[in-house]
Amino acid sequence: MGMRTIALVATLACASGCFGYNKSAKRWAYAGDSVLVVGGGGAIAADFLSEDATCEGMGCPTFKSPVNGLLVAGVVLAVAGLVGIVLNATRPEVKTSR
């Protein structure tokens, strides 16, 4: 799973809005927030399941950080989805005159 896929998932989920103002909008917001959480979980799983290339010799770094871009992107997506769900659940519905 590449960064382009993660960016696409985030864009599509955020396009629907993280929280809604009426019953119909809240349903779509929950769907978008769920996509964020699932996409973030997928990115985290892809990071942990990917194999690291072994490097030996003079050109190899001596320290390799356990945190990389895919893990950070997955955490950001999952946290954004969870925050959106909490905000959506606590936001009162706005009565519109139609």
The pTM assigned to this predicted structure is: 0.69
pLDDT tens by residue, 31-79: 888 988 999 999 899 888 887 767 777 777 777 777 888 888 899 889 9
Confidence of residue 15 (pLDDT cuts 50, 70, 90): low
User: Has residue 12 got a pLDDT over 70?
Assistant: no
Q: What is the pLDDT of residue 45?
A: 92
DSSP assignment of 24-90 equals HHHHHHHHHHHHHHHHHHHHHHHHHHSPPPP--STTS-S---S--HHHHHHHHHHHHHHHHHHHHHH
Lowest-confidence range among 9-23, 32-46, 83-97? 9-23
- Domain locations in the chain? 14-49+68-91
Q: Find out whether 6 and 41 touch, Cβ atoms under 8 Å.
A: no
